[in-house]
Structure 1
Amino acid sequence: MNQIKLAIIEDDELIQESLNDFFDAQPKIDCLQISASVESFLTALKTLEKTPEVILLDINLLGMSGIDGIPLILNELPKVDIIMLTTFEDNDSIYKALCAGACSYLSKKTPLKKIQEAVEVVYDGGSYMSPSIARKIVNSYAPKPSKSDVLTPRQKEIVTGIVDGKSYKMIADDLFVSLDTVRSHIKNIYKALEINSKAELIKKSYDNEI
């Protein structure tokens, strides 16, 4: 049985030890190297008898960040699969890591068995994301609500009145509400649409943006 040749780049000694002990007990995986930085990994790579096929890579490392190190690693190991294993779950880090060449992204909260599963899935040509990461990626591609969706029916009625050239008092009379209520609605409309004037409101209406 061919073992998956794994390398780990992680600077936290407790996590290093935990991963090393776990993978040493897995017959399908051969942990070739554990490094605390991208720089030390690239140096150690020159002395390894076997070539890593999968790398678990942290972002916040000694020296350069894991994301900055991805192109350097891929330059030396063009066929290696890189799995980010990190505490960073923000959209910017996920996007930058995947754009740089990582094929999978895991939270450090991921159980060891799931990390093993990710290594095996990636080795077989797949990709693996922690559920929370996958949700962020899906949400980033979800259609964004249009500006009109952020206005209530009453606010849309007020916008129509303004576009028709009616005064606040006329709008209040038409809708059987107080002048203060109309002013309050208009303040909330400006905030929802991220505008500051009646002119901007009318322009957005003419441009079919609301």
Structure 2
Amino acid sequence: MFAIAGGKGGCGKTTTALGLARGLATLGDRPLVADADLDMPDLHHRAGVDHAAGVAAVAGGERPTAVAASSPRFPDIDILPCRESDTATAASAFERLHRCNRPVLLDCPAGASPAAAAPLRAADRTVLVSTPDEQSLQDTAKTAAMARQLDAPPALLVLVRSAGRVDPSPLFDCRRVVHVPRLPSPPLRTDESAARYLNGAKILSKRNT
């Protein structure tokens, strides 16, 4: 299970979660993307599914595959939405998701708060997401440190809106980096984004064997 995490809001975590899930689906998996951002849940909006209390249902004992919604925008990807009211039961839902026999990606809150720590604590690995500007990289480095402390070390760094000219290695002990260039909106509808996120999915697939 992978936590998709970053240091700042608006850095592209949800886009990255869906892009990597689409890449994993291309490789033959059927990934599940769960909204772990209980403060500002918007995965359902991006994926085109109802804003149902999926995380709460899983915490209550429902099978994730039974309550997840198929995304009409992204074939072969299932979406588990959440609501702000799911906060009290989210940690137990993340633990149950860990037992899924398919790739699970948790779309996490930004930063290094207790809310961001809960999905990281349940995940096996973390995908860090940042823009290439210095402040975003520094904030994401703090998230990376927290991920290591919670036994979900970084497996991949995704730099969005990046021309590939920034070397993040001074801040990150993560050799696997995917640069996603600035793309027209909506970015996931382009062949370029599909190719970049497929590359990232291949890295995660190898790490998950």
Category of TM-score, reference length = shorter chain: 0.3 to 0.5
Tell which has more relative contact order, 1 or 2 (C-alpha 8 A, sep 6+). 2
Q: TM-score, normalized by length of structure 1?
A: 0.41
The structure with more helix, counted as a fraction of residues: 1
The structure having more radius of gyration, on CA atoms, is 1
